[in-house]
C-alpha cells in the first residue's frame, strides 16, 4: 500500500537531537522506502503562536529546509514547502475549527505546558494550534504522520476532527483518518540538564540540547556535562525508574544503536557513566557533525533553498487547494 506521509517542523531555530531522533531521521527512512509519497512542511504559521523575531523568521525557515535536506530528504523525491505559502492551510483550519469542540482542545497537555501558569496571557493561536495541525495533515489525504511522542495527543485530536467532519456531512472516508508513526525505543528525548523536561529549541540553556549544528567539541562538552546521578549503571529497566537523566542517556544510546533498552542495558553492564558518555559522544560526532556541516554549506546558497521551497509550495498548493475547494463544497460554501 502506498503510504501518504505528512509531517512538519517549526522554524524556531536550534533544531536539536530530539527533533532529529523523534521526527526527521524517520522522515528520511520513510522517504527512502520508494512506496511512500512524502510531504515535509516548515510550519511557520505554527511557530508564530509564540512571538518570533520577524528578522529571524525567514532565516529560520531556510535553516529548517536546509536541515531537512542535510538529514537526507531529497527534494526530487519529497515535497518540501513552507506552510504560509499555501493558503489552504489557514482556510481549512478555520473550517475545521468550527467542527472542533472546546472540550477537546481543553484536554491538550502541550497547551497547558507551553502556556504555563498564566494561561490568560497565552495567544489564541497557541490554543487552537492543534486544529491548524489537523488541517495540515487532512488536506493531503495523509495516511501516516511521523511525529515525536509529544505530538501523539494532537494526532488523536486530528483523527477526531476528521471523523466528526465525515459524520456531520455524511461523507464516509472523505477526510482520511491518519495513523501516527512514533518511535518505539524511546518516548521523548529529554533535556541534558533536567531529565524531566523535554529537549526543546526554546530552552534558554544551550547546554540542555545537542543542536544539529553543534561542532565536535560542543557535542563532546555537552555530553560530558550532561547530568547523571551518584548511583551505578542500572542493570534492568526497573532500575531506571525515577532516574530520568540516566534513562534519557540510555535511550539516546539505544536509539542510535537500534537496540531495545534491555539489550542496551546488557551491553552497558559494568560500564561507568563516563564510558556511556564517551560512547554517546562518539556516535553523535559520527552522525550529527556531518549533518551540521551540510546545513552550514546549504545555508550559503539562499537562492537554492528558496527555490526548493517555491517548487514545493507549487506542488503542495495543487493538492491542498483542490481539497479545500471540495471541503467548501461539502459544507455548502460554494
Ligand atoms: N524532545 C523531543 N523528543 C522527541 N521528539 C521531539 N520533537 C520535538 N522535540 C522532541 C519532535 O520534533 C518534531 C518537530 O517539532 P516542532 O519543531 O514542530 O515543535 P516542538 O515539538 O514544539 O519542538 P520543540 O523543540 O520543543 O520546539 P519549541 O521549543 O519551539 O516549542 C515533532 O514531531 C516533535 O514531536
**269 and 324 fall within a common domain:** no
**38 and 182 fall within a common domain:** yes
In a domain, 196, yes or no: no
What would the grid cell of residue 175 be? 477526510
Best residue among 150, 156, 249 to mutate for probing ligand 1, ranked by most atoms within 8 Å of CB: 150
Task: Residue 215: give its domain's CATH number.
Answer: 1.10.240.10
- Across 163-179, b (16+ Cβ under 10 Å) vs e yields ebbbeeeeeeebbbebe
**81 and 118 fall within a common domain:** yes
Residue 260 pLDDT: 87
**210 and 183 fall within a common domain:** no
Closest CA to 331 of 87, 6, 94, 85: 94
Give the angle 83-154-58 at the CA atoms, nearest 5°.
25
**pLDDT tens digits for 175-222?**
999 999 987 766 789 999 999 999 999 899 999 999 999 999 999 999
CA–CA separation, 153 vs 159, rounded Å?
A: 10
The stretch 11-39 carries a mean pLDDT of 93
pLDDT at residue 1 greater than cutoff 90: no
What would the grid cell of residue 241 be? 525508574
Task: Residue 110: give its domain's CATH number.
Answer: 3.40.50.620
pLDDT at residue 35 greater than cutoff 90: no
Other Cβ atoms closer than 10 A to 216:
14
In a domain, 269, yes or no: yes
Q: Has 263 been annotated as catalytic?
A: no
Selected catalytic residue, list 4, 25, 201, 294: 201
What would the grid cell of residue 227 be? 547530568
Residue 38 pLDDT: 98
Selected catalytic residue, list 58, 59, 114, 152: 114
Are 71 and 291 a contacting pair, CB within 8 Å? yes
In a domain, 194, yes or no: no
Identify the H or E element spanning 107. none
Residue 259 pLDDT: 87
In a domain, 228, yes or no: yes
CA–CA separation, 108 vs 86, rounded Å?
A: 26
CA–CA separation, 74 vs 252, rounded Å?
A: 26
**238 and 132 fall within a common domain:** no
**172 and 45 fall within a common domain:** yes
CA–CA separation, 267 vs 265, rounded Å?
A: 5
**163 and 293 fall within a common domain:** no
**126 and 77 fall within a common domain:** yes
**12 and 89 fall within a common domain:** yes
Residue 42 pLDDT: 98
In a domain, 326, yes or no: yes
Ligand 1 nearest atom to the CA of residue 19, by list position: 12
pLDDT confidence bin for 254, thresholds 50/70/90: very high
Is 198 in a helix, a strand, or coil? strand
Ligand 1 nearest atom to the CA of residue 46, by list position: 18
Ligand 1 nearest atom to the CA of residue 114, by list position: 31
**279 and 315 fall within a common domain:** no
**235 and 290 fall within a common domain:** yes
In a domain, 200, yes or no: no
CA–CA separation, 236 vs 250, rounded Å?
A: 12
Q: Has 35 been annotated as catalytic?
A: no
Residues with CB under 6 A from ligand 1: 9-10, 12, 18-19, 22-23, 147-148, 150-151, 188-189, 198-202
Percent of the chain with pLDDT over 70: 99
In eight-state DSSP terms, residue 6 is E
pTM of the model: 0.94
CA–CA separation, 174 vs 87, rounded Å?
A: 21
In the numeric block, the cell 518505539 is attached to: 184
Ligand 1 nearest atom to the CA of residue 14, by list position: 25
Contacts of 183 (CB under 8 A, 6+ apart): 21, 22, 26, 148, 149, 255
Are 246 and 232 a contacting pair, CB within 8 Å? no
**183 and 100 fall within a common domain:** yes
Give residue 35 CA to ligand 1 midpoint distance, Å.
27
According to DSSP H, which parts of 169-301 are helical? Answer: 216-225, 244-257, 261-268, 273-299
**pLDDT, averaged across the chain:** 95
Selected catalytic residue, list 4, 25, 198, 294: 198
The number of folded domains in the chain is: 2
- Strands, E assignment, the chain: 4-9, 37-42, 79-82, 144-146, 179-181
Q: Of 16-25, 122-131, 231-240, which range is least confident? A: 231-240
Q: Is the dihedral of CA 232, 237, 242, 243 positive or negative?
A: positive
The stretch 277-284 carries a mean pLDDT of 97
In a domain, 195, yes or no: no
In a domain, 227, yes or no: yes
Give residue 168 CA to ligand 1 midpoint distance, Å.
33
CA nearest ligand 1 atom 14, residue: 9
Are 299 and 28 a contacting pair, CB within 8 Å? no
CA–CA separation, 137 vs 108, rounded Å?
A: 18
Give residue 200 CA to ligand 1 midpoint distance, Å.
6
Are 139 and 323 a contacting pair, CB within 8 Å? yes
| Residues of the domain holding 158 | 3-188+302-331
In eight-state DSSP terms, residue 22 is I
What would the grid cell of residue 86 be? 499555501
Amino acid at each position: 500500500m502506498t503510504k501518504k506521509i505528512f509531517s512538519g517542523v517549526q522554524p524556531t531555530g536550534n533544531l536539536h537531537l530530539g527533533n532529529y531522533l523523534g521526527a526527521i531521521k524517520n522522515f528520511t527512512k520513510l522517504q527512502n522506502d520508494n512506496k511512500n509519497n512524502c510531504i515535509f512542511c516548515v510550519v511557520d504559521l505554527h511557530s508564530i503562536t509564540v512571538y518570533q523575531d520577524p528578522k529571524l523568521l525567514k532565516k529560520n525557515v531556510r535553516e529548517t529546509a536546509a536541515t531537512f535536506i542535510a538529514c537526507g530528504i531529497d527534494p526530487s523525491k519529497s515535497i518540501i514547502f513552507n506552510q504560509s505559502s499555501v493558503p489552504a492551510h489557514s482556510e481549512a483550519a478555520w473550517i475545521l475549527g468550527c467542527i472542533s469542540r472546546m472540550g477537546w482542545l481543553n484536554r491538550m497537555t502541550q497547551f497547558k505546558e507551553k502556556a504555563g501558569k498564566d494561561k490568560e496571557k497565552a495567544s489564541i493561536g497557541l490554543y487552537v494550534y492543534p486544529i491548524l495541525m489537523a488541517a495540515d495533515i487532512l488536506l493531503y489525504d495523509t495516511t501516516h504522520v511521523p511525529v515525536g511522542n509529544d505530538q501523539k495527543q494532537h494526532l488523536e485530536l486530528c483523527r477526531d476532527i476528521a471523523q466528526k467532519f465525515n459524520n456531520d456531512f455524511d461523507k464516509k472516508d472523505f477526510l482520511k483518518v491518519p495513523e501516527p508513526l512514533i518511535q518505539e525505543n524511546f518516548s521523548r528525548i529529554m533535556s541534558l540538564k533536567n531529565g524531566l523536561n523535554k529537549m526543546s529549541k526554546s530552552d534558554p540553556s544551550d547546554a540542555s540540547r545537542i543542536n544539529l549544528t553543534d561542532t565536535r567539541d560542543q557535542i563532546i562538552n555537552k555530553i560530558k556535562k550532561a547530568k547523571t546521578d551518584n548511583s551505578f549503571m542500572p542493570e534492568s529497566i526497573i532500575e531506571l525508574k525515577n532516574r530520568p537523566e540516566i534513562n534519557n542517556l540510555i535511550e539516546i544510546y539505544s536509539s542510535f544503536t537500534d537496540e531495545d533498552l534491555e539489550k542496551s542495558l546488557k551491553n552497558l553492564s559494568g560500564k561507568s557513566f563516563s564510558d556511556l558518555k564517551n560512547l554517546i559522544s562518539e556516535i553523535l560526532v559520527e552522525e550529527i557533525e556531518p549533518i551540521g556541516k551540510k546545513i552550514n554549506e546549504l545555508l550559503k546558497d539562499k537562492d537554492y533553498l528558496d527555490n526548493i521551497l517555491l517548487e514545493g509550495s507549487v506542488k503542495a498548493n495543487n493538492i491542498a487547494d483542490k481539497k479545500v475547494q471540495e471541503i467548501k463544497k461539502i459544507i455548502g460554501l460554494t
